[in-house]
Amino acid sequence: MKTILCIGMAGSGKTTFMQRLNSHLHASKEPPYVINLDPAVLKVPYGANIDIRDSIKYKKVMSNYNLGPNGAIVTSLNLFSTKIDQVIGLVEKKQDKYQHCIVDTPGQIECFVWSASGSIITESFASTFPTVIAYIVDTPRNTSPTTFMSNMLYACSILYKTKLPMVVVFNKTDVQDASFAKEWMTDFEAFQEALRADQELNGEAGLGSGYMGSLINSMSLVLEEFYSQLDMVGVSSFTGEGVSDFLRAVDKKAEEYETDYKAEYQRLQAEKAQKEEARKEKSLEKLMKDLGVQDATKKPADTDDGVDVVSDIEEGEHDGIVPRDEDEDVEREYTFAGDQRLSGEVNEDTTPDLQQKYEDAMARTARSASSQTAENIARYIRQ
């Protein structure tokens, strides 16, 4: 099953493109598995197998968390991403029945692409299925070289953020033919000529003049290598023209995913897992050190101060637990890093009740512990 993540700015015709793609695949006797991830849409013109609106109520999120529209979209995606493993499980069960899984995303593009939940959702699909990004562009609004370059820079950032193969879809070709865009992407001189023409037409007020013109010239050279990694198709969501070309481009990119992107993605996932394992190991060591427990697999280090740690005490009357001396009068301070409410140190001067509760709890624990050895403590912590 090939997964197509449809990403595009508001007004680019992304949802209409989803409708046309869904209709085309149904007409080809290859119905897709459809997922809607836009919690704020009022009505979708296609039937969704999984709809975020069924589990997340957008207006309730706004009300409950006192959020605006974009904040509510991000929060809704965050809530939904906690169940992404269930979504992937549902899709996996259907992968023998469906050849395509098409995913609609919010029109507020930054809410999905640059959020943690968007990364989780994208990585979950990409690590399970061949995944392709379909970046939808509003063709009539990109006839200006400056606007076109801005869209291409956005596409470039999405490509390197997701690290997935991408197809740039110039939508609404029934209104504006997309041949100019293909020419600008493949012919640097043609883009330069269009930039000069825009400057002459608009004079100093044009966006292609002055510093902006120099910047766009430079960026067009930088993006030349980026263009070579893209497939570009013109599509009319209104008439259906170009949808077959898009699906052929998706098939090509799916093959690229298997040969090039999959290995890189697996490497990044393994590297991420390794870093997470190292972080957990470091946290474990710190916790054991804080509790005065030494790893049973390591030889105890010689100390000159004669201080016994738990692992140095042989099993005996207290089974490795050294009870606190009842006559010992020790001032203890406890620091809770990251908890702003406690403002650093917790002692008798700041919160005496909390301090006393912790001291009483530690004293009770020391007196009642009679059967747990240092090795058992270490094993319990690891679990």
DSSP string across 356-382: HHHHHHHHHHHHH--S--HHHHHHHHH
Give the chain's end-to-end CA distance (angstroms, integer). 37
Per residue in 141-162, pLDDT tens? 999 888 898 898 899 889 888 8
Fold of 2-181+230-252: Rossmann fold (3.40.50)
Contact between residue 235 and residue 246 where contact means Cβ atoms under 8 Å apart: yes
Pairing of strands 33-36, 100-104: parallel
Contact between residue 164 and residue 131 where contact means Cβ atoms under 8 Å apart: yes
Q: What share of the chain is helix, strand, coil (3-state, %, to 5)?
A: 55, 10, 35
Share of the chain above pLDDT 70, in %: 74
**What pLDDT is attached to residue 7?**
95
From the number of C-beta atoms within 10 Å of its C-beta (0-12, 13-18, 19+), residue 68 rates as exposed
Tokens linked to 292 = 């005065």
d(CA 262, CA 255): 10
Per residue in 210-220, pLDDT tens? 677 777 877 87
Amino acid at 285: E
Distance set, CA 63 to CA 51, 83, 175, 381 (Å): 21, 22, 40, 41
For the chain, which residues score pLDDT lower than 70? 202-210, 292-359, 361-383
d(CA 97, CA 30): 9
**What pLDDT is attached to residue 133?**
95
d(CA 22, CA 44): 12
Tokens linked to 317 = 């009357």
Distance set, CA 327 to CA 71, 317, 359, 363 (Å): 56, 20, 14, 12
Tokens linked to 136 = 């939808």
**What pLDDT is attached to residue 358?**
55
**What pLDDT is attached to residue 368?**
56
Q: Where are the domains of the chain?
A: 2-181+230-252
**What pLDDT is attached to residue 296?**
47
Distance set, CA 84 to CA 62, 98, 266 (Å): 22, 19, 19
